[in-house]
Amino acid sequence: MRVILLGPPGAGKGTQAGMIAEKYHVPQISTGDILREEVKIESELGKQAKSYMDKGELVPDKLIIDIIVKQLDEDDSGNGYIMDGFPRTVNQAVAFASALSERGEQVDRVISIEVERDELIRRLNGRRTCTECGVRYHIHFDPPRKEGVCNECGTKLIPRDDDSEETVPNRLEVYRKQTEPLIDYYKGSGVFEAVDGVGSIEEIFKRVEKALEG
């Protein structure tokens, strides 16, 4: 199962990707998580990526495509994977299609999670993330059992740097300009499914399952 999850910031890509990975036993490949890890360890890639991420801009295609090709080579991806946050530009999609075709593979499903702007802002404002294991929560919609503390590892939860009031509008605009064109790119491919992303996390997962299995 080779799946791409598309959707604006806060649509629930990471939340749903985690659930798909668990149910279907496929790895979740999140370019955002990979980049945040590189920033944390202050690698050369992390230093380059940070300046873009802090402003809510996309990291240059070349850096991202290198990450993905490395993942495809390294990962035990025989069973497939869930791409969470990749591709993000038509250039990335073209490069990905070509890397897959070299391996005799193709994408099985592209699922676009659709949520309107006000709800995205509510979700990003209330998101809290574990600094240790990366699990995400929402202060109202998906709270941890103990306020401010990760259920999984007991570490403190914090807002993501790029969820600030200054950065979110630019992330939404960057999505509209650079990532939304991917919907048209994939629409004619026969593997594209749009899913209504408003409702409870479980309700949306049911729609995602239907899109995957239908």
Catalytic residues: 13, 88, 127, 160, 171
- Among the listed residues 28, 56, 107, 150, the single contact to ligand AP5 using CB under 6 A: 56
- Integer Cα distance of 182 and 6 in angstroms: 8
Integer CA distances (angstroms), 52 to 48, 95, 103, 181, in order: 8, 21, 31, 20
For the record, the structure tokens of 200 come out as 């409870």
Asked if 50 is part of the footprint of ligand AP5 (rule: CB under 6 A), the reply reads no
Asked if 205 is part of the footprint of ligand AP5 (rule: CB under 6 A), the reply reads no
Candidates 39-47, 72-80, 84-92, 146-154: pick the segment binding ligand AP5 (CB under 6 A).
84-92
Integer CA distances (angstroms), 43 to 49, 98, 172, 211, in order: 10, 28, 27, 38
Asked if 207 is part of the footprint of ligand AP5 (rule: CB under 6 A), the reply reads no
- Among the listed residues 19, 20, 45, 58, the single contact to ligand AP5 using CB under 6 A: 58
Nearer to ligand AP5, 153 or 201 (CB): 201
Asked if 93 is part of the footprint of ligand AP5 (rule: CB under 6 A), the reply reads no
Residues 6+ apart with CB under 8 A from 139: 126, 128
Extended beta strands in the chain, E state: 2-6, 28-30, 81-84, 109-114, 127-130, 136-138, 157-158, 192-196
- Among the listed residues 13, 26, 111, 182, the single contact to ligand AP5 using CB under 6 A: 13
Asked if 125 is part of the footprint of ligand AP5 (rule: CB under 6 A), the reply reads no
DSSP at 140: T
Nearer to ligand AP5, 16 or 78 (CB): 16
- Integer Cα distance of 133 and 194 in angstroms: 30
Asked if 28 is part of the footprint of ligand AP5 (rule: CB under 6 A), the reply reads no
Asked if 2 is part of the footprint of ligand AP5 (rule: CB under 6 A), the reply reads no
Asked if 31 is part of the footprint of ligand AP5 (rule: CB under 6 A), the reply reads yes
Asked if 142 is part of the footprint of ligand AP5 (rule: CB under 6 A), the reply reads yes
- Integer Cα distance of 2 and 179 in angstroms: 19
Residues 6+ apart with CB under 8 A from 108: 1, 2, 3, 80, 191
Binding region for ligand AP5 (CB under 6 A): 7, 9-15, 31-32, 35, 52-53, 56-59, 64, 85-86, 88, 92, 123, 126-127, 136-138, 141-142, 162, 171, 199-201, 204
